[in-house]
Structure 1
């Protein structure tokens, strides 16, 4: 870009500072935030700023609307304390990203447990490796696109990895999301009540103890270092807030969040409105990845760990704040229920127990898990 274009961009930013009253006066001179760098590309203009000492860091974000009035609606402000970036994108996020499994292959093939998230403002696919960044919290109001994202995440994992790579325990407490995964060969059980979920999690607890002993015996720090391969285990629970009174279940979930990474036991938790009574202590601190659709207010967005989610419009279905290293706004993939069902059909198997663990009490548990492949049957007998 030309020097002239850079100077014009700086001039517009200074104009925005004036409209937002982001300056001090020294006599008749204005003191603005220092513009340290201006980066112009075909996709965006990015300003790197340093606030003078004493400026309120919230001054920039609180005046986002002013920058949008000057530069257009596609403005993102990032940073903290003194150093910030203001990025003006040429294009906005797409209003919808249709799910196409083949299109995500390029960002999934190099990851142990690929989690697809969506497309960013540059239309680039965003994904991360759950084996490296463990434990996810997804949240968002009804209609925000959270359910479709969960569907895309789980379906993609099952299509990409074999049952020898990853197994699933699914908690579907609203009885609305995970039914399509019943009898998929990766899935140990789909549980719709705490009564059936608890025995499954007790088994997970035993398996974590077994894996911990294996790590100690072999003097290694992660299951990937063991000679004999063990599958990763993903515990995914939709509307986990419904378990707030289930103390034993929540204790096991917290234990997974604390020690599960090295043992290959990982969490994907979901809730509509973040509940601070559920997200407390160890669990809150150990959910390292946050993905949130629209939240009704700033407090809920803060509890969700996705500041800015309260600014998502109610009409922006699938718009999410994705927080891994720093928050970015993405458009999540839209996967229809029937399409997910079609994709999963080749993975279905007939089993003796249509609903694993269900209708079984603790006494009959061993007989109900003849296909439970975590290697713990000998521990139970």
Structure 2
């Protein structure tokens, strides 16, 4: 909780940021020039952060607020989060940043996967809560970043979580490890049906999956449903997950890059 004096100091600091960013409107009153800043509606402190809610003055360009986010970082520090629309904005100032490393623990992750048909663990947010989403509704995931940023580590975390979440009867995983260094640890897992290490092996794997998807599409058409999860449990084939590490190695292969596989 913040006292009255603390709130006034916090508001003063935000107005300082507004002024540095040029986020204000000036009016003339005789010889005087009046400066009007965006209206600050509230300042609250909880969960290791301070939250400001403010609205722009009519006529102010909201794009200028987003463009000047760096000014808020200069005033409050780098751990800021700015969200808003055409007029109303929320600025969160965090006392600490995101952790540089997370120790994997399925027991800690598991409660955050409840209710998700195919949970993809993303990591931890600023509140120390694990974040996951359902790959059934969002079936395509691309992880990109510079070398050494943790792309392969993230993939291993996703696969490790799914292998512990589902048995072989519910999930089949097909991996391509074109760098030949990342997925060998999964070769003996029952859910993992293939670990390709060459472009030719990847082609054969994608051909098989494409034919399997055609078979499943025919099944869905016959049963008049949209997804295998809509089938009776006794008729439901396992979910297929395709995971390719270092796809860039195969970027010049037209057959691979032109393959269209619906994950259903």
SS in 2 for 1:133: coil
Show the counterpart of 1:21. 22
In the TM superposition, residue 179 of structure 1 has moved relative to its aligned partner by 1.7
SS in 2 for 1:214: helix
SS in 2 for 1:60: helix
- Distance in structure 2 (CA, Å) of the matches to 1:244 and 1:50: 47
Show the counterpart of 1:146. 151
- Distance in structure 2 (CA, Å) of the matches to 1:89 and 1:97: 19
- Distance in structure 2 (CA, Å) of the matches to 1:203 and 1:80: 46
- Distance in structure 2 (CA, Å) of the matches to 1:79 and 1:147: 33
Q: Does 1:236 align with 2:243?
A: yes
Show the counterpart of 2:163. 158
- Distance in structure 2 (CA, Å) of the matches to 1:83 and 1:193: 52
CA offsets per residue over residues 116-169 of structure 1, 9 Å max, x none? 121111111111222232211111111112221111111111122111111111
SS in 2 for 1:38: strand
Q: Is the 8 A contact 1:169 1:235 kept in 2?
A: yes
Match of 2:229 among 207, 211, 224: 224
Q: Give the number of the structure whose alpha-carbon radius of gyration is greater.
A: 2
In the TM superposition, 1:128-277 aligns within 5 A as 128-227=133-232, 228-252=235-259, 255-256=260-261, 259-260=262-263, 264=264
Q: Is the 8 A contact 1:166 1:186 kept in 2?
A: yes
- Distance in structure 2 (CA, Å) of the matches to 1:52 and 1:72: 25
In the TM superposition, residue 183 of structure 1 has moved relative to its aligned partner by 2.9
TM-score normalized with structure 1 length: 0.62
- Distance in structure 2 (CA, Å) of the matches to 1:245 and 1:79: 41
Gaps of 5+ in 2: none
In the TM superposition, 1:2-21 aligns within 5 A as 2=2, 4=4, 5-21=6-22
With CA pairs under 8 Å and 6+ residues apart, which has the higher RCO, 1 or 2?
1
In the TM superposition, residue 53 of structure 1 has moved relative to its aligned partner by 5.4
Aligned length: 257
- Distance in structure 1 (CA, Å) of the matches to 2:198 and 2:47: 52
Question: For the structure 1 residues 248 and 55, does the alpha-carbon distance in structure 2 shift closer, same or farther, using more than 3 Å as the test?
Answer: farther
CA offsets per residue over residues 183-227 of structure 1, 9 Å max, x none? 321112111222111121111111111111111111111111112
- Distance in structure 2 (CA, Å) of the matches to 1:17 and 1:246: 52
Show the counterpart of 1:334. none
- Distance in structure 2 (CA, Å) of the matches to 1:170 and 1:42: 40
Q: Is the 8 A contact 2:172 2:193 kept in 1?
A: yes
